[in-house]
Amino acid sequence: MPNDSDRTAAYGTWPSPITAEMVASAGVTIGHVTLDGDTVYWREQRPTEDGRGVIVRRDGDAPADLVPDDFDVRTLVHEYGGGDFAVQDGVVFFARFDDQRVYRQPVDGEPEPITPEPETERGLRYADFEVTPAGDRLYCVREDHDAMEGDGSGEPSVADEPVTALVSLAADGSEQPHPVASGHDFYAAPRLSPEGDRLAWLTWDHPRMPWDGTELHVADVAPDGTLANERVVMGGPEESVCQPAWRSDGVLHAVSDRTGWWNLYRREDGDWIPYREEAAEYGSPVWQFGLSTYAFLDDGRVAAAVTRDGGRNLELVSPDGTRQDSDLPYAVFGAGHPRVRSDGESIYAVVGDPVRSSRLVRWTPGEDGAPDVLRHVSDVDLDEAYLSIPEHLTVPTRDGAETHVYVYSPQNPDVDPPADDRPPLLVNAHGGPTAATQPTFDLGVQFFTSRGFAVADVNYRGSTGYGRAYREALYGNWGVTDVEDCIDVANRLADDGTVDGDRVAVKGGSAGGYVVLSALAFHDDLSAGTSYYGVADLERLAELTHKFESRYMDQLIGPYPEAAETYEARSPVHHAEDVDAPVLLLQGEDDPVVPLSQAEAMAGTLAENDVPHDLVVFEGEQHGFRKADSRRRAAEVELAFYGEVFGFEPADDLPAVDLSSGSGE
C-alpha cells in the first residue's frame, strides 16, 4: 500500500486523465436546431474535420449526415453567423462556407445552388432562412459586400460598408433574390405567421447593437411574396426586442427588456401582454442568428430557458403567469447560444451541466423517465471524481458595486496537495464583452483544475443574465470596470486564502483578451496573462473591424474619432512599457474580427520593452479556433507557459515556450 506522502504533489504538477487531445477533439458544437414534422435537424461543428459545419438529421434511432463530405455549412453574415439552414417538407436550404451561396438539397438528393455567384469572393452572404408554408419561397437576411466594390465600370461603389437587407427568393432558384425590406443597417429574424400571410422581422441601426435598441416590424405578405402595410409594433432606440415568433393560432410573441429585464410578451388586441414581468432573462444577446429561448406547447404553455442569477434552467410558463420548473436533471438549458424547439408535445433543447457534456435531448412534459438523448457532443467517459463543480459567488467591487463569478477548485482524486500551499489561480474573462459564462461542462476548464489550478470564471459588469442595468454598467468603461472586476475577484480569493495571490494569471479571448492585456498594462496585481486573439489597439479595431461591430465601441468607449484620446489611452499596445508580467499571445492567422496585426503590434511593443512574451500564430484559423490540432496545441502551450512562469514542471510532455523571442516555436 503506497504511503500517503506518495500522493502529495505540488499544484500544477498533477497528472490528469484529461489530455489536451481530449480538449481538442472530444466534442462537437451543436448550433442551429430545427424541426420538420417528426424529424429533427441540427448543425454541428466538428473539430476533427477542421471545424467543418455539418447538417445532421434524425428521424429514427440514429443520426445521419445530410450534406456531402466536401460541404462546410456556415454563414458569414455578421461574421458570427448562425441560422445557417432551414428545412421544409424534406428539403433543406443552407449557406455554404466556401462561396456563401444558398443551396437547396432534398433529403434524398444532391445540393444545388439557388443564388447567383457573387462578383467578389463571398460577396453575397445569406442567413436566417424562413420558408413559406407552401415551400416555394424563402425570406432571409442578405449581406451584400459586392456593393462596396462597384460594378467593374470604373464608377465608384455604392456603399462604404456591406448593405444588409431582407430579401425574398424562389425556392427552386428560378427567381433571383430581391429586397423586400431595406434602408436599415441591420435585419434579423424574418418569421412567417402560420398561414404565411404576415411576416415579422427585426431591425436596428448604427451605433446600436441588438441588445441596445431594436424595432419589431410586421407586414402583410402578397401572393407574389412582396410586402405591404409595414408597421413597427414594438421596440425603439432604448428597448431591445428579440426572438419574434408566431404561436399556431397566429398570436405574435417577442422578448423585450422594456422593464430592464428580457421578459416574454404576446400581442393581443394591439397590446403587449407579459407572461411574467420579473427580474429574470428570457432572452439572450443576439450575437448569432437563429436563437430561440422559448417554444410553444399545444396545451398553451411556453417552454422557456430562463436565466436567474447567471444560471439558465428550463421552465414551463402558462398564459396566466404560473411558472413550473421542469425538474430535469440538468443545470443549463440552451448551453452557449440557446436553441429551444417544440413540436407542440415534446421539447428539444441543448442541455448540460458542469459534469456532463452538452447533449441534444427530447423531453415530453408529464412523461416519466429521463429525456431521450438525440446527440452527445462528446464521447469522453470521465470519472466525475476528476471534475470540479463551480460555486457561484457575488463579490463586492472596489467602487461599492457587485460582480459575479463561478469558482472552480482544484480537483483530482489521485493527488493530495501540500498542506502549506495554495493553488495558482486562472481568472477567465469571457468574450463579447456583451456575453456571459455559464457553468457548463468545459474540458478546457477541467484540463486545468484536474492539474491543480483554481479557475475563476467571471461575469464582470457588462455581462448578460443580470438585467439591462448590469449589462450597461460597462458602457463608457470598457477596459476599466471589467478589468477591475476581474482583479477584485482575484484579490478576494487570495485574501480569503482560497488561492495563492502570488500566482494569478488572467486569460481570455477576443474582448476577454483585451481584459488580459489591459489588466497587465494598467495594473500590477497579476502574475501573467494569456490572450486568445485579444484586442490590443482600439483605434485600429475601430478602423478595421467588420460592419456588425463597427460602432460597438461608441457605447463601450465613445464615438470615434471624437474620443480618439480615450481610445489611445485605453489601448494596451501604447502602454507596453508598463507591462511587467509575462504574456502569451495566441492568434488566428485569418481572423477578420481581431486581425493578426493586433497581436503582432502587441508582440512588437513587448519586445521593444523587453517584456517576456511569446506569440503563437495558428495557420488557417479565424476568430475562435475550430481545428482540433489548433485547440490541442493551444492548450499545451498555455499549460507550458504557466509552468514556466510559476516555476513548476507539469506532468505532461509539452512544447517549449520561448519567452524571450516570441518565436511561437
The pLDDT value recorded for residue 452 is 97
The per-residue pLDDT for range 313-342, each reduced to its tens digit, is 999 999 999 999 988 888 777 656 788 999
Mean pLDDT of 346-369: 88
Kindly report the pTM of this predicted structure: 0.93
Instruction: Judge whether 469 and 383 are in contact, CB under 8 Å.
Output: no
Edge-to-edge strand list for the sheet holding 454-459: 391-396, 402-408, 454-459, 425-429, 504-509, 528-532, 583-588, 613-618
The pLDDT value recorded for residue 662 is 45
Collapsing DSSP states into helix, strand and coil, what is residue 416?
strand
The pLDDT value recorded for residue 354 is 86
The gap from C-alpha 664 to its chain's centroid, in whole angstroms, comes to 27
Q: How many CA atoms lie within 13 A of 163 on its CB side?
A: 16
Q: What percent of the chain has pLDDT over 70?
A: 96
The pLDDT value recorded for residue 376 is 83
Find where cell 421596440 sits.
Answer: 235
The answer on pLDDT for 467 being more than 50 is: yes
Cα distance between residue 168 and residue 322, in whole Å: 40
Cα distance between residue 460 and residue 91, in whole Å: 44
Cα distance between residue 533 and residue 273, in whole Å: 43
The per-residue pLDDT for range 408-451, each reduced to its tens digit, is 999 999 999 999 999 999 999 999 999 999 898 889 999 999 99
The mean of the pLDDT values for the chain is 93
One-letter amino acid for residue 350 of the chain: V
Query: Could you give the angle at which helices 511-522 and 481-495 cross, rounded to 10 degrees?
Result: 70
Cα distance between residue 16 and residue 23, in whole Å: 12
The per-residue pLDDT for range 200-240, each reduced to its tens digit, is 999 999 999 999 999 999 999 999 999 999 999 999 999 99
Cα distance between residue 100 and residue 620, in whole Å: 18
- Listed by start position, the domains of the chain span 292-381, 382-646
The per-residue pLDDT for range 588-612, each reduced to its tens digit, is 998 888 889 999 999 999 999 999 9
Mean pLDDT of 49-54: 92
The pLDDT value recorded for residue 158 is 67
pLDDT band at 122 (very low <50, low <70, confident <90, very high): very high
382-646 in CATH: which number? 3.40.50.1820
The pLDDT value recorded for residue 3 is 47
The per-residue pLDDT for range 546-572, each reduced to its tens digit, is 999 999 999 999 999 999 999 999 999
Cα distance between residue 612 and residue 659, in whole Å: 5
The per-residue pLDDT for range 504-561, each reduced to its tens digit, is 999 999 999 999 999 999 999 999 999 999 999 999 999 988 999 999 999 999 999 9
Q: What percent of the chain has pLDDT over 90?
A: 81
Dmax (CA) for the chain in angstroms is: 84
Angle among Cα 558, 561, 563 to the nearest 5 degrees reads 40
Question: Dihedral (C-alpha) 554, 556, 558, 560: value to the nearest 10 degrees?
Answer: -50
Residues whose CB falls within 8 Å of the CB of residue 289, separated by 6 or more in sequence, listed in order? 75, 77, 78, 81, 82, 83, 127, 128, 141, 188, 189
Q: Which segments within 302-383 are labelled E, that is strand?
A: 302-308, 311-317, 323-325, 332-333, 340-342, 347-353, 356-363, 372-376
The per-residue pLDDT for range 585-594, each reduced to its tens digit, is 999 998 888 8
The pLDDT value recorded for residue 2 is 44
Secondary-structure breakdown of the chain: helix, strand, coil percentages, each rounded to the nearest 5 = 20, 35, 50
pLDDT band at 242 (very low <50, low <70, confident <90, very high): very high
